[in-house]
C-alpha cells in the first residue's frame, strides 16, 4: 500500500494519481466488463451449443456445427457483404461530414449556435422518431413522401427508396450518416 500513497510536505498521506485514475475509471470499466466483455464471452460459449432461450434445459453440445451451418447459408454472405458495404461507406462519409460541420460551427459567425443545435439534435432524438421521419421522407407515394413530392414538382419520377434493392441500402446509409454526424461533429 505504500506505493499507492505519498507524503506531502506537511506530513499528510496522499493517494497517488494512479490510484485516483483507477478509482475514477472503475465505474466505466465495470460497465464495460458487465455489458460488453461478459456477453461476448457468453456468445462465443453458446455458439458451440444447440440452445433455445425458451428451452434452456434442452442444451446440446454440437462443436462447430453452428459455424458449418452458417458458412453454408447463402444469406450469411449477403449479410456480410451488406455489412462491409455499409461500414466502408458510412464511416468515411460520416467523418468527412462531421469534420466539415465542425469547421462550420467553430467559426465566430452569427447563427452558429442555432446551426450547431440543428445538427446535434438527431443525436439526442429517439431512433424511433428518426426512423418515422425518414420513412415519411422516403415514402414512395408522391402525395405523402416529401422527397418524392419534391421530385414530382420539378418533373422527375418518384423513387422507391426503401422497397427497391438498388436504392434501399444507399438510402439507409444516407440516413445513418446524417444521424451520427452531429455526435462526430461535437467530438
* Closest CA relative to residue 181, chosen from 126, 102, 67, 112: 102
Q: Which residue stretches of the chain have pLDDT < 50?
A: 1-2
In angstroms, the CA 171 to CA 173 distance is: 5
* Secondary structure class of 16 (helix, strand, coil): coil
pLDDT score for 58: 85
Indicate the pTM of the whole model: 0.69
pLDDT digits (tens, 9 = 90+) for 120-142: 777 777 888 888 888 889 988 87
- Specify whether the CB–CB gap between 66 and 48 falls below 8 A: yes
pLDDT in tens, 32-59: 999 999 999 999 998 999 988 888 888 8
Per the prediction, the chain carries an average pLDDT of 86
The β-bridge partners of 60 are: 50
Q: What is the predicted pLDDT for the residue at 11?
A: 54
Within 8 A by CB and 6+ apart from 102, the residues are: 185, 186
Amino acid at each position: 500500500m505504500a506505493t499507492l500513497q505519498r507524503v506531502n510536505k506537511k506530513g499528510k498521506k496522499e493517494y497517488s494519481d494512479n490510484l485516483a485514475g483507477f478509482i475514477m475509471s472503475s465505474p466505466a470499466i465495470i460497465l464495460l466488463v458487465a455489458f460488453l466483455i461478459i456477453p461476448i464471452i457468453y456468445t462465443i460459449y453458446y455458439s458451440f451449443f444447440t440452445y433455445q432461450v425458451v428451452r434452456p434445459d434442452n442444451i446440446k453440445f454440437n462443436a462447430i456445427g453452428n459455424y458449418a451451418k452458417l458458412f453454408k447459408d447463402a444469406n450469411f454472405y449477403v449479410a456480410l457483404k451488406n455489412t462491409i458495404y455499409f461500414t466502408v461507406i458510412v464511416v468515411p462519409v460520416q467523418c468527412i461530414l462531421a469534420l466539415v460541420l465542425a469547421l462550420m460551427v467553430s467559426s465566430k459567425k452569427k447563427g452558429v449556435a442555432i446551426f450547431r443545435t440543428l445538427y446535434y439534435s438527431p443525436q439526442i432524438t429517439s431512433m424511433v422518431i428518426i426512423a418515422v421521419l425518414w420513412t415519411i421522407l422516403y415514402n414512395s407515394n408522391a402525395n405523402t413522401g416529401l422527397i418524392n413530392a419534391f421530385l414530382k414538382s420539378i418533373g422527375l419520377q418518384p423513387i422507391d427508396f426503401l422497397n427497391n434493392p438498388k436504392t434501399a441500402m444507399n438510402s439507409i446509409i444516407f440516413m445513418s450518416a446524417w444521424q451520427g454526424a452531429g455526435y462526430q461533429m461535437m467530438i
